[in-house]
Structure 1
């Protein structure tokens, strides 16, 4: 636990410094329209400050889930989400801070979740016997300071995490390339995509968490070689994910316009129409996305993360190529179709 925490914090500091230093190249890579360039820069300057909070939350949330406690991370995430909405209204509507207010609301809510879950773990583990606590003992802390990292432990952590890190990095790099293409179609398409992606991400977040829970379930049973329980759990996980995805698809496709109006003023009809188009194309295929997250979770659980990396690299390459090809005759809708095709090809 101590080795992983120090490693994650070190990587976080490096990335945090890197994104601030590379602010202008990032904006150039994203092909941000000139009319929204300054607003984008203001948002990123503030939102990057939340990387530490996100790292804290994700580390301790994963730790608690590994111990079988998925309730507490969900509670802190729910509190953070509700607080984010409240602070958005306060900072943007009340204080008129605009873009900076939206970014500040996100960062503050992230720190509430990150610090809150950190304190929960520290308090809940304090007072336990040395053999029953996850908290590093003083002798262990002094040993690390005196002797440095244990290469065996560090190698194991890096081996387990490197492929997943590579997968996520490749995935998000592909997303950024598509984002740059979207931005090239102007501020209207960019605004529609930004709002629609928020709705899209929120819609399939539960099935993504199904995948995380399923991964933990498989890993625990794989460790004790209870393969029968894995088979039974797999059938139930896929059934739950598919049924839930169908329901969400129906809701998103039916109420796409109303959902867009949560983020966009009703008078901005062009933005809403573009966002509705995205949601109805993308929202029709949540079943595939749900199954995909379960497959990722399965390969991680049985220590074959390289399969997920291979699938991600191939599928994202197809996604970017298709997006650039289809956007020529179809314009923005071609990008939405490419996103759907990439997800279904990856699942196949």
Structure 2
């Protein structure tokens, strides 16, 4: 057992919560789907929200799509920090609940809320002050910089809303409630879909209107979370800030798991920025095509990331309860189902990519590049499945460093280095950048599988 749980001890859970945790432990396969399906619905809603933005912005032309593509890594950077620390909160809460330590789980959630406020303010202010310098550094052309700053100047002011929503969702996920956040996300997405055409076209705000629709919808979602958690107090986790006690030990544990996860997502964000700098060498069409194609990758990731996120809570509970063998069995189960889903979706995307991408753009060169990317990447989807699920299991075990190492290997030491080598030194054409992505996905997935299998074997041997 980790020192954190030894230090804080165990306090009683309610009978209802005991039954829920016990049910997860007794039937892990059913529990995985019970956790994953609501997460998948929520992520589907979130992806729909991104796709709708891209469809409407696509009507403004290829440069508008390219501008949005330049902002995406920056948004991923900010949300990546939050999701990483949120995973730390989820992992700590779920392990406390698995160890029957309810008050400590409550205190962990309170730490999560305070972290959200602090990071939200820092990222909003910092992003706004540096907005022009960032896009110049990323290599955007002057016309694209103007559009990108128009969008980013508005969206960055709403970072605090998005960041708080991530922490609230992480807290509820830690207690096994993945349904409530989805309901709120659906409400926010429907509002965003309704506001997008009004702000972009009716009010003639263009790309700035898309950003305004986003932050307004995220604000409404935050209000729903606040009402649920603090006014109506309907969650298992209870907030009693009058009894809050700041703990460096607890914060250290959250950061121990969360910082590597955040760093992993930051590295992916920086990788996206480097890729945009390489892609701009082939024209704005290449940047726009990559931005559109990555949205289709998000659709593929929906069920896989949902299972992976469900595994964080489940593995945390198994670990807290000492049920180590079930971790391995559930891992194999999740991977086998994930690979089946990946092959099915990959086959569908390979055939339908030309028709799907016409929804986003009518420019032939953008369509050609996007289709080329997708028809190559679908072949490595199974390896991406292994990498995604395995990395999240390490987080559930309270080990954030392996995920960081795997991401660094995939993005920096393989994908970026190969892309730079192919494009700059060998002067190869655009599709060699896609080859570098494929090589990195196969390498990271293979290493992740071997590493976790070794780690779980050691864990089971130590408990026998």
Please say whether Structure 1 and Structure 2 have the same fold, judged by a TM-score greater than 0.5. yes
**1:27 CA displacement:** 0.4
Task: Write out the 4+ residue segments of structure 1 that deviate beyond 3 Å after TM superposition.
Answer: none
Residue deviations 1:163-218 (CA, integer Å, cap 9, x gap): 22222222222222112222332211121112111222233122112111112111
Q: Does 1:54 align with 2:162?
A: yes
Residue deviations 1:314-335 (CA, integer Å, cap 9, x gap): 2222111111122243332122
Q: Is the 8 A contact 1:182 1:189 kept in 2?
A: yes
Q: Is the 8 A contact 1:167 1:308 kept in 2?
A: yes
Distance 1:235 1:138, change over 3 A: closer
Match of 1:325 in 2: 421
**1:77 CA displacement:** 2.5
Once the two structures are superposed, the pairs formed by residues 140-155 of structure 1 within 5 Å of their partners are 140=243, 149-155=246-252
Of stretches 334-343 and 217-226 in structure 1, the one that deviates more from structure 2 is 334-343
Q: Does 1:178 align with 2:275?
A: yes
Q: Is the 8 A contact 2:335 2:389 kept in 1?
A: yes
Q: Give the structure-1-normalised TM-score.
A: 0.89
Q: Does 1:345 align with 2:432?
A: no
Match of 2:237 in 1: 134
Match of 2:323 in 1: 226
Q: Does 1:239 align with 2:347?
A: no
Q: Is the 8 A contact 1:31 1:181 kept in 2?
A: no
Q: Does 1:81 align with 2:189?
A: yes
Once the two structures are superposed, the pairs formed by residues 31-110 of structure 1 within 5 Å of their partners are 31-110=139-218
**1:62 CA displacement:** 1.0
Alpha-carbon distance in 2 for matches of 1:242, 1:59: 30
Q: Does 1:14 align with 2:122?
A: yes
Residue deviations 1:100-143 (CA, integer Å, cap 9, x gap): 122222222222323322322224426x9xxxx533325325xx
**1:300 CA displacement:** 0.8
Alpha-carbon distance in 1 for matches of 2:116, 2:177: 21
Alpha-carbon distance in 1 for matches of 2:250, 2:392: 23
Unaligned runs of 5+ in 1: none
Alpha-carbon distance in 2 for matches of 1:113, 1:183: 36
Of stretches 77-86 and 164-173 in structure 1, the one that deviates more from structure 2 is 77-86
The aligned length equals: 335
1:278 alignment partner, one of 354, 358, 373 = 373
Q: Alignment RMSD, CA only?
A: 2.0
Q: Is the 8 A contact 2:155 2:212 kept in 1?
A: yes
Alpha-carbon distance in 2 for matches of 1:16, 1:341: 36
Alpha-carbon distance in 2 for matches of 1:253, 1:87: 33
Residue deviations 1:18-41 (CA, integer Å, cap 9, x gap): 111211221022211223221111
Alpha-carbon distance in 1 for matches of 2:158, 2:349: 29
Distance 1:296 1:85, change over 3 A: same
Residue deviations 1:77-109 (CA, integer Å, cap 9, x gap): 333333333322222233332211222222222
Residue deviations 1:233-287 (CA, integer Å, cap 9, x gap): 22221122111111211122111122212221x3x11111111111222233222
Alpha-carbon distance in 2 for matches of 1:191, 1:123: 44
Match of 2:288 in 1: 191
Match of 2:24 in 1: none
Q: Give the structure-2-normalised TM-score.
A: 0.68
1:248 alignment partner, one of 345, 350, 357 = 345
Q: Is the 8 A contact 2:259 2:400 kept in 1?
A: no
Alpha-carbon distance in 2 for matches of 1:335, 1:83: 37
Unaligned runs of 5+ in 2: 1-108, 447-464
Distance 1:249 1:83, change over 3 A: farther
**1:158 CA displacement:** 2.5
Q: Which has the higher contact order (CA 8 A, sep 6+)?
A: 2
Q: Is the 8 A contact 1:30 1:179 kept in 2?
A: yes
SS where residue 304 of structure 1 aligns? Answer: coil
Q: Does 1:160 align with 2:265?
A: no
